Amino acid sequence: MTGTSRNVAVRSLAAASLVAFAALLGGCWTTKVYREPGASSEAPSKPRPGVTTTVRRGDTLFSIASRNGVRQQDLAAWNGIAPPYTIYPGQKLRLYPAGKGGSTAATRPSTTTTTTTKPAATTPAAPAPKPAAPAASDIKWRWPADGELIGRYVAGEPTKQGVDIAGASGAPVRAAADGVVVYSGSGLVGYGELIIIKHNEQWLSAYGHNRNRLVNEGQLVRSGQQIAEMGRSGAPREMLHFEVRYNGKPVDPLIYLPKR
């Protein structure tokens, strides 16, 4: 084989491997943004004010962005989705940024023909913004399991987006409120055997690290109904990892669960 033929064969094999890897990545639940050098120079996505899309089972941030003709990183920014870019079935995503009219007009530097400037007047520093108040919920939440609270929610910490409740292997895990099961499986890395319940258009709850799942997708469940057996799938010990999400974003479950 000549040197030219060998180079062509190597490039063909590399291209085929890249296509196979992209297909595998598209089947994952957790999506990370990878950029090639120079990708930041790509033209920004064109927003579609007022338009939303609903996450379907098997979707990734990349597949949704591609389907709607926007960049993956823009879709993440518009919806406040931080690493590890976790999305859930039933979650609604905006195809436009938050704010008045969904406008993303870029601020461009202005030009001037003058060569002298006046010093800007000093103004007092603006006060630091206050933390947003927790979203109000009309759902009557209940504790999903008995046991000691061994882990608490930490805002912005990807591995602490809910609470951890210790217990014995096989202990009952119960629905925290009425709803419909939108996911029952083990396809989300780091959650083990996972169940996700949709309570209404804004609220979801998630139950991870189960030993055994007792409900299927599409099944209606009642508050307090057993949905799983506690386990340690994807965890160092028997425990339930419980999350509450409002419009897809994690919130502190202890704000909404009754006081013990």
Give me the CATH number covering residue 68: 3.10.350.10
- For 173, other C-beta atoms within 10 Å of its C-beta total 28
220 in Cβ contact with 201 (< 8 Å):
no
Predicted TM-score (pTM) of this structure = 0.59
Q: Percentage of residues in the chain with pLDDT exceeding 90? A: 43
Give me the CATH number covering residue 245: 2.70.70.10
Residues 153 and 251 in one domain: yes
Amino acid at 180: V
- Three-state secondary structure call for residue 85: coil
- For 141, other C-beta atoms within 10 Å of its C-beta total 18
Backbone angles phi, psi at 40, to 5 degrees: -65, -15
What pLDDT was estimated at residue 22? 39
- Quote the tokens at residue 165: 């409740």
Residue 220 inside a domain? The answer is yes
211 in Cβ contact with 230 (< 8 Å):
yes
pLDDT range class, residue 131, cuts 50, 70, 90? low
What pLDDT was estimated at residue 110? 42
* Span of 11-20, 61-70, 240-249 with lowest mean pLDDT: 11-20
pLDDT range class, residue 253, cuts 50, 70, 90? very high
Residues 95 and 160 in one domain: no
Please give the residue range of the domain that contains residue 58.
27-32+43-99
Between the alpha carbon of residue 45 and those of residues 31, 72, 75, 97, 186, the distances in Å are 19, 9, 9, 11, 33
Residue 206 inside a domain? The answer is yes
Top pLDDT among 86 and 201 is at 201
